[in-house]
Amino acid sequence: MSFLGEGGFARVYQVRDSRNNHLACKVVTKSSLKTKKAKTKLYAEIKIHKALDHPNIVRFVDCFEDEENVYMTLELCSNASLMNMLHRRRVFTEPEARFFMVQLIGACHYMHTHQVIHRDLKLGNLFLDTDMNIKVGDFGLAALIESPGERKKTICGTPNYIAPEVLFDTANGHSFEVDTWSIGVILYTFVVGRPPFQTKDVKEVYQRIRDNQYEFPPHRDVSLDARELVQQILTPNPKERPSLHNIVDHTFFTRGIVPGYIPVSARDAPPDFR
Ligand code: ADP
């Protein structure tokens, strides 16, 4: 059993099942589930994740408990997260960005048609399997929309990736479009190397999100198509944001190279897609 990583509540290990298949096992100590709220949240995460079945979503295998812990076995993502890969690479090429975006948008479209909003899409929650395919993970902040038009009111997400309506339209609430916003932040991060609204001070990050204040640094050679698509997605009014279909129809995708796969060597050096 080897240690893979830890998050807010869980420690994750690599394990083997009875047929010797490698899996990830997420362990949550019951002592961290003292409040009713913490328990409800974990059970909501399990219920939502268990119901999803898509090639670009981490597969939920099983769930069990003993006196001390709750265990969730998951599909193993042996090439870590895109956060980890970006740290090694600093920035991705636009063909790589297209490949990852197509898989991410496919997973997101599937979630939305199953009434699930992920609400925490970010590079650290996009894992990579042995073949460098994206697997969306960590449903700890996900929400199920139980009736059409239902709006969510809880403020959640990760500061850099959070949509303006989550922060500034608490009366109206938010819905599926918050994931679309995060997808825009992710695209910018792929091609620039850091998130658009990032600063040291969280308050200032929120001000920048409110003011839609970001720019493309002159030292990065980002195509006009990529800039235009980011700008369309990062529209402050959620009603005016493009649909996931509109996004993949943009010329950024239709006029550029979309590789069939990403080689594992891309974890350390840019592949040549000509
Ligand atoms: P939390 O919900 O507590 O934030 P995460 O689900 O983000 O926990 O997992 C924490 C860390 O464990 C991740 O950053 C990653 O390094 C590792 N990890 C999580 N799930 C997997 C997986 N399916 N395969 C491989 N590593 C994983």
ipTM of the shown complex: 0.95
pTM for this model (two decimals)? 0.96
pLDDT digits 0-9 by tens, 145-202 = 999 999 998 888 888 899 999 999 989 999 999 999 999 999 999 999 999 999 999 9
Burial grade of 65 (CB within 10 A; 0-12, 13-18, 19 or more): exposed
> Which residue is closest in CA terms to ligand 1's atom 19?
12
Nearest CA to ligand 1 atom 4: 7
Name the stretches of the chain with pLDDT < 70.
none
Query: What was the pLDDT predicted at 31?
Result: 93
Report the catalytic residues.
120
| Residue whose CB lies within 8 A of the most ligand 1 atoms, among 127, 128, 130, 158, for a mutation test | 127
Q: What is the pLDDT of residue 79?
A: 96
Q: Round the average pLDDT of the chain to a whole number and report it.
A: 95
Q: Is the CB of 4 under 6 A from ligand 1?
A: yes
Give the DSSP H or E segment for 104.
helix 94-113
Is 177 close to ligand 1, i.e. is its CB under 6 Å away? Answer: no
Question: How far apart (Å, rounded) are the C-alpha atoms in residues 174 and 265?
Answer: 39
Does 6 contact ligand 1 (Cβ within 6 A)?
yes
Q: What is the pLDDT of residue 95?
A: 97
Structure tokens at 13: 């290990």
Extended beta strands in the chain, E state: 2-6, 10-16, 22-29, 60-65, 69-75, 116-117, 126-128, 134-136, 143-144
* Ligand 1 centroid to residue 84 C-alpha, Å: 12
Pocket probe mutation, ligand 1, options 2, 4, 52, 133, max atoms within 8 Å of Cβ: 4
Measured in Å, residue 221 CA sits from the centre of ligand 1 at 32
* pLDDT at site 183: 98
**pLDDT for position 273:** 83
For tokens 């980890």, the residue is 84
